[in-house]
Structure 1
Amino acid sequence: MPTQEAVPVDPDDALGARGRTALAGRHPVVVALAPAVLYLVVRELGLLALQLMAARWDKDVTRALTSWDGQWFLGIAEGGYADVPRGLVDAFGRRTAETPLAFFPGYPTLVRWVAGLPGVPTIGAAFAVSLVSGVLCAYALARLGSRVAGGSRRAGLVLVVLFAASPMAVALSMTYSEATFCALAAWSLVGVVERRWVLAGVCCAAAGLVRPTAAALVLAVCAAAAVAVWRRPGDRRAWVGGLVAPLGLLGYLAYVAVRTGRWDGWFAVQRHGWDSRFDGGAATWRFALSILGDPRSVLELTTVWLLVAALALVVLCVRRGLEWPLVVYGVGVLLMDLGSNGLMNSKARLLLPAFTLLVPVALALARRRTGTAVAVLAGISVFGAWFGAYAITAWPYAI
C-alpha cells in the first residue's frame, strides 16, 4: 500500500485552540489583571443597563448614582459633620446637629482627601473612591476564593463575578460606602484565612469607620484571633490583630456618645431620625408575609426572595464546611439585616457585604464546564444589572 508522507507539525498548532487559550490564561499579565477586568466588565454592564433605564424614566444617571445616602456622604465630604447642606434631612423631614452623625466618617473622609487633589471635584472623587475600592475588593475576593478549602484561582474569579453581579451591586458604583467597606472587609477576611492577623485587625478597624456592619466583621476577626491565641498563647500577631480589630467601630461610637451626651448616642440618632432599631426580625417577618400575600412591587417581592436565598446560602456554607470565621461574618451581616426594623427597601442592598455566603456557589460553578459556568454567570449578571438599574430609576423611593 502506498505510504503517506509525514507532514511536519508546528508545535504551536499542535497545542490546539484550547491549549493556546489555557497558556494565555496563565500569562502573568492575564493573571494579574483578571480580577479587575472581570469586576469592571460586570459593573460596566450594570451602568449600561442604568443608562437605558434612566432614559426610559427620563432621569439623570449622575443624579441617580448620587441619590439618597449618597447626598449625605457628599455633604459630609465637603463640609464635615458641622456644615452639611441644610436641605438634607432625616426620614421624618427633620434635622438636628446630631443627624449627620448617623453616617460613618470613613468613606467621606477618603472622598475629601481625593477631592483635595488639584482639579478633582467632590463628585468625581466619590466615584473614584468607589471604583478603586471595588477593584481592591475584587482582588481580595479572588484571593479568598483561592485560599478557602477546595478553592482555586478559577473559584476566586467566579466569586468576583458573583459579587459584582449581585442584585444591588449598583451601590458599588454609587457615592455610597458599600464598595469601601466591602474592600476592607474582604481583605480583613483574607488576613484571617491566611493567619495574617495584623492585616486582619487593621483592615477590620478601618472597616469600623465606614459602616456599622463592621460589627459582624469584628465578631469574626476577634473570635478567630481568640482561637488562634488559645491554640498558641505566644502568637503575638494574633493578640495584636484581635485587639486592634474593634478600635474603629468602638472609636466612632464613643465619639458620637461624647457628641450627643449619651452612651447609646449613635443608636439614638438612628431611632430618632430613621426609626431604625434592632427588633429581632419582627418587622422583616411582617414585611415578608405582607409582600408574599400581596406583592405590591417588583423590588419588594424580589427583596423578600433574596432574603430567603440568603438563608439558603447559609445552609450551603455550613454543609460545605466553609471556614467558620467566614460563616460567622456572613451570618452576622445577614442577622443585622433581618433583625433591623429599618427601611425594608434597603434590605437587598444591606445584603451586599455578605459576600462570603456566595463562596459555596463560586466553588460549585468553578467545577463546572466553562460553557456552563459562563452561561450561568452571564444570566446572573444580566439580572443583577437590570435589578440595580430598576432600583434607582423606576423605583421611586430610597434604597
Structure 2
Amino acid sequence: MSTSSVPRPEPLAPAAVRPRPAGAGRPGVRRGARQALALFAAIRLAGVVAVLLADHATRHSLGRTLAHSWDSRWYLHIAQHGYGHLIWITPTGAVQSDWAFFPLYPGLVRAVTALLPLTPGQAGVALAWAAAGAAAYGLYLIGHQLYGRAVATALVALWAVLPHAVELTLAYTESLFAALAFWALYCVMNGRWLWAGSLAALAGLSRPSGFAVAAALGVTAVCELVRRRGRMPAAVWAGALLAPLGWLGYVLWVGERTGNLLGGYFMVQSAWTSRFDFGVGAARFLRALFLYGGGVVYPYALVIVAAGLLLLALLCLDGAPMPLLVFAGVLVLLVIGGSGSFSSKPRFLLPAFPLLFPLARALARAWWARPARAVLVGAALTAVSLLYGAYVTVVAHSPL
C-alpha cells in the first residue's frame, strides 16, 4: 500500500480550531521547540536552585521541600503502602483519608521505584520534572499551531514564570496532569480522537479536576455533531466516551469502598473541606481577608485568581478554539466555585494555559517592537517567580 493511500485523521473545523500558520514545517517546529524547552528548563532549574538555597537558609534538609511538601507526603505514602492506611483527624473532628488523592501519580512512583534504585521521594520528583518537560513541549505545539513560533515561545516562557510554577518541580501531580491534558487537547485539535480520549482518561486518573479535559472533548464532540448534521466518525464517539472513564472509574471505586457508590468520594472530599459550594467559601474568605488581613500568600492568591477571571474574559472575546476555552473555563469555575484553602487556588490554575494566550501574544509583539523592554519584563517576571516560589514552598506555612 502506498503512503498516499493511508487515511489521515481529519482535523477539527476552523470553528473549533484555527488553521496551522503558513510555513510551520516539522523541522522548524522542532528547532523552535528545542529552544523553548531549553528556556523552560533553565527557568525551572533556577527555581529549583532557589528552593534549595531557601532550604539551606532555613536549615531544612537539602531538597526536603522538593519531595515532602504538604500533599507530596500523602502521595508517597500511597505509593509505598497503598490506599486505606493513612488518615488524619482534624481539630474539628473531620476524618481525612488518602482516598481523596487520585491514583495515577502514586502508581507511577511505585512503578519507578520497582524498576530503578530510587527512593519514593526521588522518583516522585523525577516524574514531576519529566512530566513538566512533556507538558511544555505540548504547550509549544499548541501555541505554534495557533499563532506561530514567537507566541508559542512566549507561551512556554510565561508558563515557566507563573508565581506557582515552582510546584511543577515538586513531587506533586500538577505537571503530570498538565502533560496529559495538554497532549489530549493537542490531539483533539488535530482530529486524533482516540489518542485524545485515552490521554483524557489518564488525566482523569491524576487529579480531581481531570474531568475538565473530558468536558472539553465532550463539548467539542457535540459541536462537531452539529456541524456534521449528525454524521460523526466512530473515532470521535469513541474518544468522547473514553475521556471521562478515568475520573468516573476512580470516583465510583471510592464510592464502593465507602459503601456509598455515588456519594462516597464527595463525602471523602468534604472531610478535606473540598467541595463545590458555588463560591460561598470564597466569599467567606474574602470577607475574612478584608477584615483581618492575610499576610503575603492569601492576598497574592486573590490577585492571581482575579487575574485568571480577567484573562478568561479576554480569551472568550478573542474567540479561542472550543476545546481550549472549555478546558480553561471549567478550571476557573472550579477555582471560583470550590471551597477549600484559598492559598491552593493558584496551583489549581497552573494547567489553565489558554489564559496565557493574550499575554503571550502581547509579549511576542513587544519582542518584535522593543526587544530590550520585552527582555526586561521577562527578567522581572522570572525574578518574582523564583523568589515567590521559594517563599511559598519553604518559608510560608500556608497549604500549597
Asked if residue 144 in structure 1 is aligned to residue 142 in structure 2, the reply is: yes
Asked if residue 79 in structure 1 is aligned to residue 81 in structure 2, the reply is: yes
Matched ranges for 1:97-246 at <5 A: 99-148=97-146, 151-232=147-228, 233-246=231-244
Q: Render the CA deviation track for 1:151-188: whole Å, top value 9, x for unaligned.
A: 01221121111112111111111111110001111111
Q: Is the 8 A contact 2:52 2:63 kept in 1?
A: no
Q: Is the 8 A contact 1:147 1:193 kept in 2?
A: no
Name structure 2 gaps, 5 residues minimum. Answer: 1-26
1:127 is displaced (CA, Å) by 1.0
1:324 is displaced (CA, Å) by 2.6
Provide TM-score, normalisation by structure 2.
0.86
In the aligned structure 1, how far is the partner of 2:29 from the partner of 2:144?
Answer: 16
Q: Partner of 2:88 in structure 1?
A: 89
Counterpart pick for 1:342 among 340, 343, 351: 340
Q: Tell me which stretches of 4 or more aligned residues in structure 1 moved more than 4 Å.
A: 26-30, 90-96
1:89 is displaced (CA, Å) by 2.1
Q: Partner of 1:67 in structure 2?
A: 69
Aligned amino acid, residue 265 of structure 2 = W
The more displaced of 50-59 and 182-191 is 50-59
Q: Render the CA deviation track for 1:105-127: whole Å, top value 9, x for unaligned.
A: 01111111111114222111111
Q: Is the 8 A contact 1:225 1:239 kept in 2?
A: yes
The more displaced of 37-46 and 50-59 is 50-59
1:259 is displaced (CA, Å) by 0.8
Provide TM-score, normalisation by structure 1.
0.87
Q: Is the 8 A contact 1:115 1:125 kept in 2?
A: yes
Q: Partner of 1:389 in structure 2?
A: 390
Q: Is the 8 A contact 1:50 1:61 kept in 2?
A: no
1:193 is displaced (CA, Å) by 2.0
Greater Cα radius of gyration, structure 1 or 2? 1
Q: Is the 8 A contact 2:224 2:232 kept in 1?
A: no
1:138 is displaced (CA, Å) by 0.5
In the aligned structure 2, how far is the partner of 1:271 from the partner of 1:200?
Answer: 31
Q: Partner of 1:375 in structure 2?
A: 376
Give the 3-state SS of the residue equivalent to 1:89 in structure 2. strand
In the aligned structure 2, how far is the partner of 1:392 from the partner of 1:144?
Answer: 30
Q: Is the 8 A contact 1:281 1:341 kept in 2?
A: yes
Aligned amino acid, residue 158 of structure 2 = L
Name structure 1 gaps, 5 residues minimum. Answer: 1-25
In the aligned structure 2, how far is the partner of 1:229 from the partner of 1:178?
Answer: 32
1:287 is displaced (CA, Å) by 1.5
In the aligned structure 2, how far is the partner of 1:276 from the partner of 1:123?
Answer: 26
Q: Partner of 1:307 in structure 2?
A: 305
In the aligned structure 2, how far is the partner of 1:67 from the partner of 1:234?
Answer: 46
1:215/1:118 Cα in 2 relative to 1: closer, same or farther (>3 Å)? closer
Q: Partner of 2:352 in structure 1?
A: 354
1:54/1:245 Cα in 2 relative to 1: closer, same or farther (>3 Å)? same
Give the 3-state SS of the residue equivalent to 2:63 in structure 1. helix
Give the 3-state SS of the residue equivalent to 1:213 in structure 2. helix
In the aligned structure 1, how far is the partner of 2:91 from the partner of 2:390?
Answer: 26
1:94/1:42 Cα in 2 relative to 1: closer, same or farther (>3 Å)? farther
1:336/1:119 Cα in 2 relative to 1: closer, same or farther (>3 Å)? same
1:190 is displaced (CA, Å) by 0.8
Give the 3-state SS of the residue equivalent to 1:186 in structure 2. helix
Counterpart pick for 2:252 among 251, 254, 276: 254
1:293 is displaced (CA, Å) by 4.8
1:61 is displaced (CA, Å) by 4.2
RMSD: 2.1
Asked if residue 53 in structure 1 is aligned to residue 54 in structure 2, the reply is: yes
1:298 is displaced (CA, Å) by 0.7
**Percentage identity across aligned positions?**
35
Asked if residue 39 in structure 1 is aligned to residue 53 in structure 2, the reply is: no
Q: Is the 8 A contact 2:29 2:149 kept in 1?
A: no
